[in-house]
Structure 1
């Protein structure tokens, strides 16, 4: 039977931003509820080595890092719910004068006075079975996360926009050769970035080409190559690479909020300057759901901390108490 539960603070999302917000608000004795969402642990659960998160000298596996964050959040009293919000009533009109109202896939309803949105962004993928099979074994959507592991190797980047060019240029710091695969014969990226790309001797291009299959075996070293198809000639070829970076963009997970929150043209939540506050009082956004520039675990955690501090102050100002964080 569906239930309805009220809590002063609810956090949506269970990546670094969400768990950090839970740790901080838990330490402030706010006893937050965190609703994990569709992918508990966020994008790091499909990342193998995380070598750039401070405090882990030898690196750490992505899923293990998220398990540690979850355990720390629980330690400070966070109630973690395995469910997915499918309807969010945030505005005064939708709430009809009541608190923020969240309806979950299970039918359970949660209401709150303050909300931290940390639902993240999902990488766009090619939709290949081989891509899923080799995810974390040579297939990645984050050059800054995983580029270091391909020092001296030949790799490929798929895409033709600013993201693809940025990732390709970044990867030339490590790889011996970077092949940019694009389905057209010209790029959409800014001209100045294209000039930098074409001037780099490590960069090669595969024009008018799409990836038909990513080759390799997770149990035998991961990615070994890609099969490309020229969309003009129909010819196929095998490109030998040990890593494939998919750079065709991200989609922020903001659809359930509709037009209740201010968004940019790509759907990312807009927050006030030097703040995680959205256009609605008591509603804050942290992590990749509002950050299309950095998209790192550490920056997401930082904004999760900011959102926690702001939400805690909002709740105590509302109640007339002094902030405790």
Structure 2
């Protein structure tokens, strides 16, 4: 097929102007190297990370200017001369940290994130290493597939990367963002009990429909960590905490976790200033683990489970286009969304 030489893309210029620094422009369609594939991107989604990079608040490596976007899915339209894994027409999702292939994260791999160090997915075409894409689940569309890249893989890594979740264990998920909702679905598929926190009766009904066994309204219950502990078997605490709030929620997570439990520190929605919880970590005998998405190997394992259990991401009812992607930023910043914010790319 004949491919264009230019494309539409969103570029983070690196001038510290906030969202005004993210510019919609024409850019080149990348040339495909011998070990690369060219993907016609069909879907993307927005993460909290995408909001804070233009605001100069991102705590990890950056190489600006860079094409924005952490999550992508699409169809391979060309392959390099040495590519053996893929062919034109294959449906794939992108790997966020392109260098994180398997095993623990490394400093080198942490500097290969899309939309921060390497050109991201808010564009029409992207060239990626043949090891930088993974087969998309057959049961998902492109927008659903794109939503897996950061949020789903982060929750999968949280539940299986250090101390794998077992049937019958208990998981506490915070809020109704993408990571938490994926963790809820993965935990239920594994036969775990899920305690979810949320801020409204309306959201509580939705997480119950997704399988949450217990729901706590954190606006009405300031000591929701103790409540979660009491809801756990024998009141001993939960095995896994999906911690997305950071500064404002860690104290409650420590109240909820059981002895030798794991708190996966993922988000910083409630602030990034450290709290002096060191002695309480000792008192709880728990592990607090930072999670930075996951590896290609983990992504492949997750895709199999998504197909096996026919899991579908929770996508907000309002889906944006590539042209209106900046509106998606504003929509997420205003916290109008439920689940993942999807972007359809033509």
Larger Rg over CA atoms: 1
Q: Same fold (TM over 0.5)?
A: no
Please give the TM-score of this superposition, normalised by the length of structure 2.
0.29
Please give the TM-score of this superposition, normalised by the length of structure 1.
0.31
